[in-house]
Amino acid sequence: MEHQHSTADLENIAKQLACPEGAQGIKTGELMSINNLGMTHAAIDALVIEKGDIILEIGHGNGSHIEYLLKKANDIRYFGADISETMITEARKINAAFIEKGLVHFQLTNGIDLLYADEQFDNAFTVNTLSFWPEPIQYLKQIRDVLKPNGLFALCFADKTFMEKLPFTPYGFTLYGVEKVQQLLESTGFTIKNTIKKLEQVQSSGGEYVERAYYVVVASAN
């Protein structure tokens, strides 16, 4: 029989997914890097990455995917913003060689303010962080501001129809369908360039595989 989590267990799972902390947070980050790998690659692949680009990621987790991004073109510089000190520590360990070369930079943020210069980045992306943004409209406006004119933003998220079936999402998650996400982007000055829907098999907490639907919405900063 599958273990039934208590309310406290579910609240803790949700808290760790939102902001991994401590030893349990390190394990959560490792699981997220595995379970979100397909989504992360899809978001990166949806961008037009060229030599010398400066790229921002919001919510990088343990950063084990950054090497994949850096192989997309020569002389890429990567900036990662995360609300978890634990994840930044892990990401710095995993990407130590890239940091030493000046290719990778991490910054602890509060999830509300992006402390970067206007028009600093050629591209930006995020995977499964939208559910935790306390002020999505304000945050999207800031993302738009830090992008160069016509810079691309890939927003990748698991669809609401999948997420609402998970037992921990009532505890701190805001769930989105694709139409709502498109409306948010357009209302904050982005132009939708492409919307990609994908299906993948992921392992549930019970060990069985389930089908997850997710979207990558690619938008341009005007």
Average pLDDT per consecutive 10 residues, the chain (222 residues; last block may be shorter): 71 88 91 92 98 98 97 97 96 98 97 95 98 96 97 97 90 94 98 97 72 96 88
Which of 3, 1, 4, 31 minimizes the C-alpha distance to 16? Answer: 31
- pLDDT of the residue at 1: 34
Q: Report the C-alpha gap between 159 and 173 in whole angstroms.
A: 12
Compute φ and ψ for 135, nearest 5 degrees. Answer: -130, 75
The encoded tokens of residue 188 equal 């904050």
Which pLDDT does position 2 carry in this prediction?
45
d(CA 161, CA 212): 9
Give the DSSP H/E element, type plus range, for residue 70. Answer: helix 66-70
**Separation between Cα atoms, residue 26 and residue 209, nearest integer Å:** 23
Hey, what domains does the chain have and what are their CATH numbers?
7-221 (3.40.50.150)
pLDDT of residue 14: 86
142 phi/psi in degrees, rounded to 5: -70, -40
Q: Is the pTM of this model over 0.75?
A: yes
